[in-house]
Amino acid sequence: MADMTLRQWLLTDTPTSRRHAKLSALYQGWLAFRSNTMAMIGLGILLLLVFIAAAAPLLAPHDPFVQNLGNRLAPLGSEGHLLGTDSLGRDILSRLIYGARITLYIVALVALIAPVVGLLVGTVSGYVGGWVDIVLMRITDIFLAFPRLVLALAFVAALGAGIENAVIAISLTAWPPYARIARAETLTIRSSDYIAAIKLQGAGGLRIITKHIWPLCISSLIVRVTLDMAGIILAAAGLGFLGLGAQPPSPEWGAMISEGRRFILDHWWVATMPGLAIFTVSLAFNLLGDGLRDVLDPKAGE
Amino acid sequence: MALAEDSGKGRVRASLPPWIKTTILTIGSIAMTMLGLLFVTFIIGRVMPIDPVLAIVGERASQSTYDAVFLELGLDKPLIVQFGYYIWDVLHLDFGTSLLNARPVSEDIARVFPATLELATLGIIIGIVIGVPLGVVAAARKGSWIDQVARVLALVGYSMPIFWLGLMGLLIFYGILGWVGGPGRVGIFYVDVVPSVTGLILVDAALDGNWDVFKNAFSHIILPASLLGYFSLAYISRMTRSFMLEQLSAEYITTARVKGMSEWDVIWKHAFKNTRVQLITVIALSYANLLEGSVLTEIIFSWPGIGSYITTALLSADMNAVLGGTVVVGLIFILLNILSDLLYRVFDPRAK
């Protein structure tokens, strides 16, 4: 026991405690995940993105908001401006670096709100059943049948443009699939023997849902959220592009494309660079999501 | 719709064939979903920070004019009654008048909708013609280079901002190569040259026999349509592939192969034939998504369709137009969803 390496300890067939078993399962999942090169690339890109966002003030060569009209629309590789400057002479690279913060902020908020709402609706619907189930699932169906982008547009129109409202609008259109998944999981879990056992011990509905059903729904929700992240980024960028998300002079990537659109034929890099950034990040989320799905939910693959 | 529901209820109790019950349930769920859509747009219209009365009478109107319009719009009634009025209006295709040009919103929508329809239809055709064979071949040659290409195409499609790809397409094929027409539906010299019969310029030009206009319109539509086509083919090819893989692993395929049937016949005459039902639903779904997803594409290509219409209205706070457009797109989206569901039930004998 004493001369066991950490690796052996993690890969043991005879775990000594609950925590040991949990860590062991986690480690084995990680090993499976690690062998998926594409997923690792995705993870690497996202870690890099988080680092860039966190260290933005240190990494950015210029202030993203400072205008220099004497040096506007400078091409790629100009002195001091690796990715050139935009129509107001702002350094594009610096704006991209600061824009990473906005992208992460939006994605993180939506990824917190939508699945939690879905989890609540789905588990309650599945556990309580009866009329509650019928009503909640009808509402879910109705939202599921809506065209998402157009509905988000209408929401933003009502709430007013801005990042927070864009987040609310995207979340409002994103929660139904999570509710469906959570309900399906709940229905299978609800009838299992261990839930009956807990009930006999006197556990109430609230305790069963929060302590015993939620933890089991989490893994399929995580996979779905990761796969949805790309869509969330694209929707947020789309709203920004339409002028309904982040407002100028905020360096949001979609808004930057919209700004560069006017010069696309003569100064292509202004719109191209933020587009590449959006593409890279949503590609990374898709790769990571595929990899996670293979590890956590192998049946859902091919 | 209400009639069909009422007249059906008695028959269910008499336990007539199950399909009648299914039909009633379907109609009920369609009605519920549409009511839900109208409720949401109604609420959006109510929580908006824009005063609908002020928007009509203007800021300089006297208090009595204001009050008159206030009463005329029924704003003194309880919300539920107002909602009833709203449903009544929508059923009569009355979405109010646009604040920008004072024309009925329904007329505007009828004018811009064919442009979206034309674009989305050509897009889905491109998506089907390329996506389905690609998916079939990717499944038949699983792991081959074609399968890899299809995988990458789909992955890129899922990760690409459509408006950015559109801009890049304009830059390369219009700006640099000059192969296609620029933004808009036709060049400026061809506007209103052919009489508008269907509102679909390609069809109108063909009907008129004016091939110059047809060529010009085609050079304008091909880029945005290919763009939409690409995004639908990403989805269609993936789904086709997984349907085909499912079929190809079935035992009847092994039997067919053992009998010595050629691989071509096995794939196309047996396996593919059995995926058609599922494919129809996938295609209907992606068509619905295209109608909706064309919003951003229309902006990029200055395409005068319903997406451009909603966005322009949005930016000028013309809420009647925004909500009217949202309702129309929403209703079409819901109908296509239901249609795909129905097609599935009609064509798949197991679902009966």
Do B80 and B118 have their domain in common? no
The answer to whether A278 contacts chain B (CB < 8 Å) is yes
**pLDDT tens digits, residue range B239-259?**
999 889 888 888 888 888 888
All residues of chain A having their beta carbon less than 8 Å from the beta carbon of residue B156 are 283
> B39, B57, B92 — which closes off a domain?
B92
Query: Using 50, 70 and 90 to split pLDDT, how confident is the model at B50?
Result: low
CB < 8 Å from B in window 99-158 of A:
138-139, 141-143, 145-151, 153-158
The answer to whether A241 contacts chain B (CB < 8 Å) is yes
Do B157 and B218 have their domain in common? yes
pLDDT value of residue A48? 93
The yes-or-no verdict on residue B215 having pLDDT over 80 is yes
Residue B206 lies in a domain: yes
**Whole-angstrom Cα distance, residue B224 to residue B170?**
9
Residue B18 lies in a domain: no
Query: Using 50, 70 and 90 to split pLDDT, how confident is the model at B217?
Result: confident
pLDDT value of residue A276? 93
**pLDDT tens digits, residue range B222-233?**
999 999 999 999
Do B136 and B247 have their domain in common? yes
Residue B99 lies in a domain: no
CB atoms B167 and A257 under 8 Å: yes
Q: What is the mean pLDDT of chain B?
A: 82
The yes-or-no verdict on residue B351 having pLDDT over 60 is no
pLDDT value of residue A267? 83
Query: Using 50, 70 and 90 to split pLDDT, how confident is the model at B11?
Result: very low
CB < 8 Å from A in window 10-69 of B:
29, 32-33, 36-37, 40-41, 44-45, 47-49
Do B271 and B175 have their domain in common? yes
Do B219 and B83 have their domain in common? no
Do B156 and B224 have their domain in common? yes
Percent residues over pLDDT 70 in chain B: 91
pLDDT value of residue B10? 47
- SS3 readout for chain B: CHHHHHHHHHHHHCCCCHHHHHHHHHHHHHHHHHHHHHHHHHHHHHHCCCCHHHHHHCCCCCHHHHHHHHHHCCCCCCHHHHHHHHHHHHHCCCCCECCCCCCEHHHHHHHHHHHHHHHHHHHHHHHHHHHHHHHHHHHHCCCCHHHHHHHHHHHHHHHCCHHHHHHHHHHHHHHHCCCCCCCCCCCHHHCCCCCCCCCCHHHHHHHHCCHHHHHHHHHHHHHHHHHHHHHHHHHHHHHHHHHHHHHHCCHHHHHHHHCCCCHHHHHHHHHHHHHHHHHHHHHHHHHHHHHHHHHHHHHHCCCCCHHHHHHHHHHCCCHHHHHHHHHHHHHHHHHHHHHHHHHHHHHCHHHC
Q: Which residue has the higher pLDDT, B210 or A299?
A: B210
Percent residues over pLDDT 90 in chain B: 10
The yes-or-no verdict on residue B2 having pLDDT over 50 is no
pLDDT value of residue B9? 46
- The predicted complex's ipTM stands at 0.82
Distance from CA of A151 to the nearest CA of B (A): 7
Looking up residue B330, the CATH number of its domain turns out to be 1.10.3720.10
pLDDT value of residue B121? 92
All residues of chain A having their beta carbon less than 8 Å from the beta carbon of residue B41 are 154
Do B195 and B261 have their domain in common? yes
Do B87 and B195 have their domain in common? no
Low-confidence ranges of chain A (pLDDT < 70): 1-3, 297-302
CB atoms B163 and A265 under 8 Å: no
pLDDT value of residue A57? 87
Query: Using 50, 70 and 90 to split pLDDT, how confident is the model at B61?
Result: confident
Do B217 and B69 have their domain in common? no
pLDDT value of residue B7? 46
Partner residue opposite A234 with nearest CB, options B36, B161, B330:
B161
Distance from CA of B111 to the nearest CA of A (A): 19
The yes-or-no verdict on residue B69 having pLDDT over 80 is no
The yes-or-no verdict on residue B186 having pLDDT over 90 is no
Considering its fold, how many domains does chain B have in total? 2
Do B142 and B200 have their domain in common? yes
The residue-averaged pLDDT of B83-96 equals 83
Do B174 and B242 have their domain in common? yes
The residue-averaged pLDDT of B313-321 equals 80
Distance from CA of A172 to the nearest CA of B (A): 11
Domains assigned to chain A = 96-302 (1.10.3720.10)
**pLDDT tens digits, residue range A75-98?**
777 777 777 888 787 888 889 999
The yes-or-no verdict on residue B76 having pLDDT over 80 is no
CB A250 within 8 A of CB A102: yes
**pLDDT tens digits, residue range B90-138?**
888 888 777 777 788 888 888 888 889 989 999 999 999 999 999 999 9
CB < 8 Å from A in window 79-118 of B:
none
A200: helix, coil or strand? helix
pTM of the model: 0.84
Do B72 and B124 have their domain in common? no
pLDDT value of residue B19? 75
* Domain that includes residue B69, residue range: 30-92
